[in-house]
Structure 1
Amino acid sequence: MAASSRHVSTPLERTFRAAHEDLPREAPGSEETTALLLRLAGALPETPRIVDIGCGTGPATLALAGATGGEVVAVDLYEPYLRRLQARAATSGLGERVRTLVAPMDDLPLPDASADLVWSEGAAYIMGFDAALVSWRRLLNPGGALVLTEAEWTTTDPSPGARAFWDAGYPAMRTTAENVAAAQRAGFTVQALYLLPDADWDAYYRPLAHRIELLRDGGADPAALDEVGREITVREQFGAEYGYTAYVLRRR
């Protein structure tokens, strides 16, 4: 999230930014998973209009623009990510098909029915699954597709350690069955579900762990680094109890 002009960042926030700077991605995922989900989304117009919400540095944005030939509006609040995305899009020859937008995901300055495909990997939890479904549905053309990934419990009885970690950051996290019901109530048909594999978590955590060790060697605050890396430790201990599930939804 972009800091306001009056906000003074804390040591932990500065360490978090340093640890995440220039990472390949900011959430579990992979090029293979993005390609699979795009196929599961089904038929799109010849040059679809796409919105990628919480795009980060744009790993999904570039893949979508390249695979579909469409135009992608890439939305994030953190401007350095978008500047990096613009540079990457220009280098890859996709600059004319990618437009960046600095905006909050819960108040997007985009017109109703302006997208054939709305996409969000690893970001919906920021506003909550239910709120994301309601807020983003209006962007879709009738019959348009929403693809998003959501952190979920894969057990109905998570361990206290796993529960404590997620309750601190995402107390509204639910099971797949609960989220499927929520999607249906929100006016969507659930076209496909896909639990992201461990390899998608590795694609996020391995670069992050490496960066943390570099910062540690460089004398960064050990306590702050331990806090930034805590999610990796929790995943190692309790990863079988939660995951990211991809939802491919069609607006009814």
Structure 2
Amino acid sequence: MSTPLEQVFLAAHDDLPREAPGSEETTALLLRLAGGLPARPRIVDIGCGTGPATLPLAAATGGEVVAVDTHEPFLARLRTRAATSGLGERVRPLVAPMDDLPLPDGEADLVWSEGAAYIMGFDAALHAWRRLLAPGGVLVLTEAEWTTTDPSPGARAFWDAGYPAMRTTAENVAAAQRAGYTVQAVYLLPDSDWDAYYRPLACRIATLREDGVDPAALDEVGHEIDVRAAHGTEYGYTAYVLRPR
């Protein structure tokens, strides 16, 4: 059963355009950087949310996408969006934890995850998801990272509470190479990708305040927006395009 704070968090994210920083432009760029996919590739989108990457991937590639998340209401919204966009037959929602996916080895030509790998940790994701890749397959994921080697106390306190294992790009490149991947591309998401997430979230929080939702819980949900405004030059989301060696 979810806690009151988790309930407020989910209410604040209900039917937002996306659940993490990103954009259709970035998804399209990363897909181009991945390259070398077969016609109609098999895709697994892990931590898909309501499908901000799922639907563009299905539309751009002509492939089938297994869309994985643990929150059924997100997947219900994805089903509606997929049906409305004419992609319903090529999107298969799957309720499953990202660290224990009920999918066979070699299931995917492309494994994709935007804004979710930190939940299990970068190294664990690289290890757990590798088996899903078919020969010649590619892993694309975004990861929260420090963009400085000396973050300020305010930024450090926020991320230590939620993701104490967060590292720099150089450290994660080295980790990916140690895990047996070739790093094909690295891309720091632009500030506009954060705005695409935070602006709708801020509007939703304001609406929930007007509706009388617990202001302390809303303050906690919205705290990350304030941290980003104060310390956004010190961290970001970095996308990785990786191929197993």
TM-score tier by shorter-chain length is over 0.9
User: What residue in structure 2 maps to residue 233 of structure 1?
Assistant: 226
The 5-angstrom pairing of residues 1-252 of structure 1 reads 7=1, 9-252=2-245
> Runs of 5+ in structure 1 lacking a partner?
1-6
1:199-243 Cα deviation digits (max 9, x unpaired): 000000000000111111121111111101000000000000000
How far did residue 47 of structure 1 move?
1.1
How far did residue 142 of structure 1 move?
2.0
Tell me how far apart the structure 1 counterparts of residues 81 and 14 of structure 2 sit (CA, whole Å).
Answer: 15
TM-score of the aligned structures, taking structure 2 as reference length: 0.99
Tell me how far apart the structure 2 counterparts of residues 163 and 143 of structure 1 sit (CA, whole Å).
Answer: 38
Q: Helix, strand or coil: the match of 1:65?
A: helix
Tell me how far apart the structure 2 counterparts of residues 123 and 25 of structure 1 sit (CA, whole Å).
Answer: 12
Letter in 2 for 1:220: V
RMSD of the alignment, in Å? Answer: 0.7
Tell me how far apart the structure 1 counterparts of residues 107 and 215 of structure 2 sit (CA, whole Å).
Answer: 47
How far did residue 10 of structure 1 move?
2.7
Tell me how far apart the structure 2 counterparts of residues 218 and 87 of structure 1 sit (CA, whole Å).
Answer: 26
Letter in 2 for 1:92: S
1:65-84 Cα deviation digits (max 9, x unpaired): 00000010000000011111
How far did residue 143 of structure 1 move?
2.1
Letter in 2 for 1:234: V
Tell me how far apart the structure 1 counterparts of residues 19 and 174 of structure 2 sit (CA, whole Å).
Answer: 28
> Runs of 5+ in structure 2 lacking a partner?
none
Tell me how far apart the structure 2 counterparts of residues 232 and 246 of structure 1 sit (CA, whole Å).
Answer: 21
1:17-62 Cα deviation digits (max 9, x unpaired): 1111111100000000000000000111011000000000001000
Count matched residues.
245
How far did residue 177 of structure 1 move?
0.4
Letter in 1 for 2:122: F
